[in-house]
Amino acid sequence: MFSASLSSKLPKCGQPRAFGLHLATVALIGMTQVAMAQDQGNAPPPKVSIAAAYTQEITDEAVFIGRAEAINKVDIIARVSGFLDSKAVEDGAQVSSGDLLFTIEPDLYEATLQARKADLDQAEANLELAKVDLARKEELYKRDATPESERDIARANELVAEAQVKAAHAAIRQAELDLSYTEIHAPFAGRLGRIETSVGDVVGPNNPPLVNLVSEAPIYVNFSLNEKQFTSVLQQFGENAASLAESSKSPNVHVTLPNGTELDETGTLVFVDNRIDPLTGAITVRAQFDNTARLILDGAFVNVQIEALEPTLQVLVPQAALQRDQRGAFVLVVNDKQMVEQRYITTGDTVGTAIIVLDGLREGESVIVEGLQRVRPGVAVDAVVASEQPGE
């Protein structure tokens, strides 16, 4: 009985060993947690590099794609038909207004003019004869020597003769114009393109143009602003669409040439369209440049900048400090207690390696630019000033 009662109070075979392992595991976990807590409490705060938000005078600019357009350009087309008699210019020549460009054989048109003058002489002679006949018929009618119908016919013949004289004068004028069109002159100053015909070719109104002529200086640059941009420009300068191009407060316009260099001239607004294009949601604006160096060519694409008259003071931070999440752009700020704060900001345009902060940050506040991956809001940091401070 003694053996049976003793065995009933002891644990079953294998239980002492399992119980001991369980206690050892609990103790090990506890010791590990204590060690980790001690390590965390003793670890130094992470090092980060900071930069101070700074202010700078910024001249706001808006950049658009523009296209150059000659103030005057025309395809020179012969207005009368004939053989091209001579060329007075070469390909690509600079010409002045009124310069002779081409001559079409004038012989036919000179002969036509002489024929029209002869027609005039004949018409004037017929008119004189009609007047004499009418005077005779009037006298006979007064004497009752001729019927009234004869007098009326003579009067109508005189009117016909007068009309023939007028038609002859008009025909002479037309012949003179045709003869003048045999000499083709430059309608304005500019530069010619490639001449597409040779001496001896038959030219005329239905033939291709002889050459094109383009005025190079001054020159227009057309570009478009969307509704938001255009409204902002009007509000900034206190003008309306009709007065913007005429106002002395009109913004300066600059052009960057296709090779990336800026044209050393300032353009002026000369035209603002009267409607928003419903297809593009934009309005066409035109600037004029003197183009003294002839660097802007008709049809060229250029970058156009509209510059504000007065610079404004803006807060900037390095772009390296900027982060984004679903709520928007933010920076990590280190306060005077060396603690990290998350600050959501409203950003503007970029200026070099910095970005304008429109709202959410003040000048002098420190933002983290290096070590962002090692910190989070609410932790202490060991902040050092970045080696290169923007704005200095």
Q: Which residue has the higher pLDDT, 379 or 3?
A: 379
Domains of the chain: 47-58+313-385 (2.40.420.20), 62-70+216-307 (2.40.30.170), 78-105+182-208 (2.40.50.100), 107-180 (1.10.287.470)
DSSP code string of 117-171: HHHHHHHHHHHHHHHHHHHHHHHHHHTT-S-HHHHHHHHHHHHHHHHHHHHHHHH
Q: 33 or 341, which is more confident?
A: 341
For the residues 283-300, what does the mean pLDDT come to? 93
Is pLDDT of 340 > 80?
Answer: yes
pLDDT for 7 equals: 41
| pLDDT above 90: percentage of residues in the chain | 55
Q: Would you state the pLDDT for residue 9?
A: 44
The reported pTM is 0.62
Assess whether pLDDT exceeds 90 at residue 63: no
pLDDT at 386: 81
What is the per-residue pLDDT across 112-136, written as a single tens digit (0 to 9) for each?
999 999 999 999 999 999 999 889 9
pLDDT higher than 80, residue 246: no
- What are the structure tokens assigned to 112, written together? 């036509």
pLDDT of 5 higher than 50: no
pLDDT for residue 16: 47
Residue 379's nearest CA partner among 329, 333, 343, 344 is 333
CA distance 215 to 288: 13
Instruction: Tell me the per-residue pLDDT of 144-163, one tens digit each, with 9 for 90 and over.
Output: 888 888 888 989 999 999 99
What confidence tens digit (pLDDT) does each residue in 193-235 have?
999 899 999 999 999 999 999 999 999 999 998 888 888 788 7
